[in-house]
Amino acid sequence: MLDIKRFIASLTFIFTLGSLFAQDSCWVQVRIPVACIRDGKGHATEMTSQAIMGTPLLLLDSVNGEWLHIKAPDGYEGYMNVSSVAFKSSSEMEAWRKARRMTVTSYPEIKLYSNPRDFSSRNTVTELVNGSIAELIDSVGDMNLLRLPDGREGWAKRTALTPIEMWASQPFDADSIIARCYALMGTPYLWGACSTKSVDCSGLVRVSYFANGILTLRDARQQIEIGERIPATDTAALRRGDLLFFSSTPDGRIGHVAIYDSDGRYIHSSGRVKTNVMSNDDPDFSNRVYRGASRIDGMIPSEGITQVIDHPWYF
């Protein structure tokens, strides 16, 4: 019965996105390493999320030609400055989906260079964070020539890249997800941040799962609604990669999420990316109210969780 429910939920999720895609006449793609998504039409408004290079975004409206109302692949809406994106027609996006593309899968950020043999700073085209997507134009030795959404081209080391189909169809791998989290140890917390440069608590979930080719909903209050629920009383059932949820009061709004490692230890973004332990002796844990967990493993695809290979905005 669970498999049938998951299948129906997956069809509903994909059908909704597919219908939206069919009705669309205009898209944009992120053209800078990390672009800010805001809750209003101005730089002074709150940053609620981010999107990285190559992310396809549905253009909902243009505001005075400077601010764009956009929808992200996870359904998240907000405003983005026009300087952060390249405009794309539906036919251009269809060609992009069929093109040879590479995803940045190295843990550190990489640079794209205009010269494949000269890596001096004056030859830098841009940097690319983990999860960035670009078209593959050519390969020479250990270097790949990539094209960005705005048409700029540059060279990157092949070892830092993976064909998009391979990255987007990875099986669930808790070890890989946890390794991504630990690679970000010490990374600063920033409200609304969602890249390897900085993350908020739910941003860490998004970045680590996206590195495994899995797209989840954005905020902690949304993430608690996805996956298989594990009650707060059943801590013995927790497995690596499970999402742990917290609030300030027993009945309060979910305000924090962490990722379970093992032996009671979890990793999360709180001030910085760090680890703590599910023990009353741990100040971080005891200062919050643990509200249970959600398991993503075994729930792909289901509502709010999709493998990127199955997402119609990417393929």
Supply the pLDDT for residue 15. 44
Supply the pLDDT for residue 7. 44
Candidates 298, 285, 227, 214; CA nearest to 256 is 285
Query: At what angle are helices 201-210 and 174-183 packed, to 10 degrees?
Result: 130
Label residue 10 by pLDDT band (50, 70, 90). Answer: very low
Neighbouring residues of 40: CB distance < 8 A, sequence distance ≥ 6: 46, 79
Candidates 212, 211, 110; CA nearest to 157 is 110
| In the predicted structure, residue 63 carries a pLDDT above the cut 80 | no
Nearest-angstrom CA–CA distance, 115 and 92: 27
Interval 257-272: pLDDT, tens: 999 999 999 999 999 9
Supply the pLDDT for residue 4. 53
Interval 188-239: pLDDT, tens: 999 999 999 999 999 999 999 999 999 999 999 999 999 999 999 999 999 9
Interval 131-160: pLDDT, tens: 999 999 999 999 999 999 999 999 999 999
Tell me what the mean pLDDT of segment 30-36 comes to: 98
Supply the pLDDT for residue 46. 98
Supply the pLDDT for residue 157. 97
Interval 163-192: pLDDT, tens: 999 999 999 999 999 999 999 999 999 999
Nearest-angstrom CA–CA distance, 232 and 18: 36
Tell me what the mean pLDDT of segment 271-295 comes to: 98
| In the predicted structure, residue 313 carries a pLDDT above the cut 80 | yes
Supply the pLDDT for residue 21. 43
Report in angstroms the alpha-carbon separations of 258 from 205, 269, 285, 288: 8, 7, 11, 12
Cis omega (within 30 of 0) on the bond before 301?
yes
Candidates 205, 226, 225, 219; CA nearest to 301 is 226
Report in angstroms the alpha-carbon separations of 154 from 128, 133, 143, 183, 282: 11, 13, 10, 26, 48
Label residue 62 by pLDDT band (50, 70, 90). Answer: confident
Supply the pLDDT for residue 185. 98
Please indicate whether residue 197 or residue 10 has the higher confidence score (pLDDT). 197
Nearest-angstrom CA–CA distance, 238 and 260: 7
Mean pLDDT rounded to a whole number for the chain? 93
Supply the pLDDT for residue 14. 44
CA 61, 62, 63, 69: dihedral to nearest 10 degrees?
50
Interval 108-135: pLDDT, tens: 999 999 999 999 999 999 999 999 999 9
| % of the chain with per-residue pLDDT over 70 | 92
| In the predicted structure, residue 8 carries a pLDDT above the cut 60 | no
Label residue 25 by pLDDT band (50, 70, 90). Answer: low
Supply the pLDDT for residue 13. 42
Label residue 65 by pLDDT band (50, 70, 90). Answer: confident
